[in-house]
């Protein structure tokens, strides 16, 4: 039997909004596995926990760079938020994004690439660590490209041009007017930042994610006749797809339309068909486990 700590119960409660005793029961039932405990609570109808990966705060910056029909978004992490405000760190992150726009989204390839001003990107990061005095890492990168059209972009909580906390790029393939396409691309990118889709369409969703959702729906409605249960699961999956598939989501700028419908209507303004080729959304620190610290206790111990 896994040892269930108060910290684990508190973590689960913050993620689900469920009472402490139910959280403790869920953890006991699942041997302390947080993800399984979330599913257990959802199956019992006690939680509306997010259907996505845990998002734990971490520091640093997300950066966007767009060059010649290709966009890239990168995340560079640091230990504290103070570093994110440092001009030298911001310059480092911006330069890394510029390199990635030319080299691609493979992190190791980017690290080995030439850094503006001399040396390699990995060396520039090491030099910044030595200069600023805090650990840093290029955590991830993603890219989107179009043959003809634009890369829409949006940075939420921007601290500087192209730098912030949530970065989105989206590819719009079209021969239409560049100005109208650019404006539309920003609107779609803003939608992605707010709605956080899992995939472009439901066919692109990881089968494991779909299977997990089916299991939750089935177990939550266990005991109902088979033909009724089948309809409930099918209906639940349709709702799930509308929530997490970009093209099926309700468009945040006009919730009476789906994103697909909004794109179709925009073709009249753009003057040509529009195909959404892909997107990338990075929220700073998502999925990163960060040790919780008591700042007051740290200061007290230093005194």
Instruction: Assign residue 7 the CATH number of its domain.
Output: 1.10.8.10
d(CA 62, CA 24): 36
Residue 301 domain flag: no
Q: Do residues 117 and 84 lie in contact, with contact meaning Cβ atoms separated by under 8 Å?
A: no
Same domain, 179 and 151: yes
CA angle 39, 191, 16 (to 5 degrees): 20
The answer to whether position 244 is within a domain reads: no
Same domain, 30 and 109: no
> Is pLDDT above 50 for 209?
yes
Min mean pLDDT across 49-53, 92-96, 177-181, 280-284 is at 49-53
Dihedral through CA 189, CA 193, CA 194, CA 195, nearest 10? 80
Q: pLDDT value at position 80? A: 84
Q: Are residues 38 and 185 in the same domain?
A: no
Q: What is the pLDDT of residue 1?
A: 63
| pTM for the full predicted model | 0.76
44 in the same domain as 66: no
| Other Cβ atoms closer than 10 A to 31 | 11
User: The domain containing residue 11 runs over which residues?
Assistant: 1-49
CATH number at residue 122: 3.30.479.20
Residues 119-165 have pLDDT tens digits of 999 999 988 887 887 888 999 999 999 999 999 999 999 999 999 99
First to last CA, the chain: 40
Q: How many structural domains comprise the chain?
A: 2
Could you tell me the CA-to-CA distances from 193 to 22, 169, 232, 239 in Å, in that order? Answer: 32, 9, 30, 20
Which residue shows structure tokens 């753009």? Answer: 270
Residues 221-245 have pLDDT tens digits of 888 888 888 899 899 999 999 999 9
Question: Do 32 and 84 share a domain, yes or no?
Answer: no
Strand ranges (E), 135-247: 136-145, 149-156, 163-164, 166-173
Whether 93 and 117 map to the same domain: the answer is yes
134 and 274 within one domain: yes
The verdict on 77 and 156 lying in the same domain is yes
């Amino acid at each position: 039997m896994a040892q269930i700590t108060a910290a684990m119960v508190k973590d689960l409660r913050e993620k689900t909004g469920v009472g402490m005793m139910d959280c403790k029961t869920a953890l006991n039932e699942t041997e302390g596995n947080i993800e399984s405990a979330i599913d257990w609570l959802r199956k019992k109808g006690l939680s509306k926990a997010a259907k996505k990966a845990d998002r734990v705060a971490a520091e640093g910056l997300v950066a966007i760079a767009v060059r010649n029909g290709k966009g890239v978004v990168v995340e560079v992490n640091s230990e504290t938020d103070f570093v994110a405000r440092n001009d030298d760190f911001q310059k480092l992150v911006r330069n890394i994004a510029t390199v990635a726009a030319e080299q691609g989204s493979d992190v190791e390839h980017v690290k080995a690439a030439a850094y503006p001003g001399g040396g390699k990107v990995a060396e520039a990061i090491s030099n910044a660590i030595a200069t600023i005095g805090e650990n840093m890492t290029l955590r991830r990168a993603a890219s989107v490209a179009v043959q003809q059209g634009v890369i829409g972009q949006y940075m939420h909580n921007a601290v500087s041009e192209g730098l912030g906390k949530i970065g989105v790029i989206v590819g719009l393939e079209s021969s239409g007017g560049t100005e109208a396409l650019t404006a539309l691309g920003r609107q779609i990118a803003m939608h992605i930042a707010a709605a956080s889709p899992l995939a472009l369409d439901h066919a692109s969703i990881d089968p494991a994610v779909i299977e997990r959702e089916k299991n939750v729906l089935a177990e939550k409605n266990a005991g109902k006749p088979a033909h009724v249960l089948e309809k409930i699961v099918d209906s639940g999956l349709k709702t799930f797809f509308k929530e997490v598939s970009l093209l099926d989501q309700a468009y945040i700028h006009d919730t009476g339309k789906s994103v697909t419908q909004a794109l179709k209507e925009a073709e009249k303004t753009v003057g040509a068909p529009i195909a959404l080729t892909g997107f990338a959304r990075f929220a700073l620190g998502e999925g990163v486990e960060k040790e919780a610290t008591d700042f007051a206790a740290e200061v007290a111990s230093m005194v």
